[in-house]
Amino acid sequence: MADKIRVLLSEEDVNARINQVAAQISKDYEGKSVHLICILKGGVFFTCELAKRLTVPVSLDFMSVSSYGDDTKSSGVVRIVKDLDEPLTDLNVLIVEDIIDSGRTLSYLMEVLKQRGPASIRLCTLLDKPERRVKKQVKVDYTCFTIPDEFVVGYGLDYAQKYRNLPYIGVVEL
């Protein structure tokens, strides 16, 4: 039986907001280049859309970090599944995430990446669930949407590897 999915944010709303956030990032990095670190797998949809809209020079790398497995709640155990291909020394790094909730993964990841010598490091997310934040020190610099504590899919976010390809953000009604 298929899961029922309720639309939370339409494709049009998501695209409009990505345009706004990209314009702000381009303004903030004017005269500089930005090195995007896409957090796989979910972040790839958002990262590609964001990168297309940036007007500053962009380089890109990928990292896979996991704390979920096939569950709807974070396990709290963070694993680097795929590390970066290039060094970060003196780069203006922008970590691009699909969603931030507890902050455990990003807290761990930010500490790891800061040790690699970037000129700056900032965080951009499509979705933020601040009411779920356990790691309060995680500061999100660019947020497209702040959402309630519901399990969401679409636009790269999945439920047991399903629904990443939805062009909108939806809530799986279990």
Q: How far is CA 14 from CA 118, 133, 139, 161, 162, in A?
A: 30, 23, 22, 21, 20
Q: What is the pLDDT of residue 156?
A: 92
- The catalytic site residues sit at 101
Cα atoms in the 13 Å half-sphere on the side-chain side of 111: 10
Q: What is the pLDDT of residue 155?
A: 93
Please give the model's pTM, rounded to 2 decimal places.
Answer: 0.90
Segment 115-166, tens digit of pLDDT: 999 999 999 999 999 887 877 778 899 999 999 989 899 999 998 889 999 9
Q: What is the pLDDT of residue 1?
A: 41
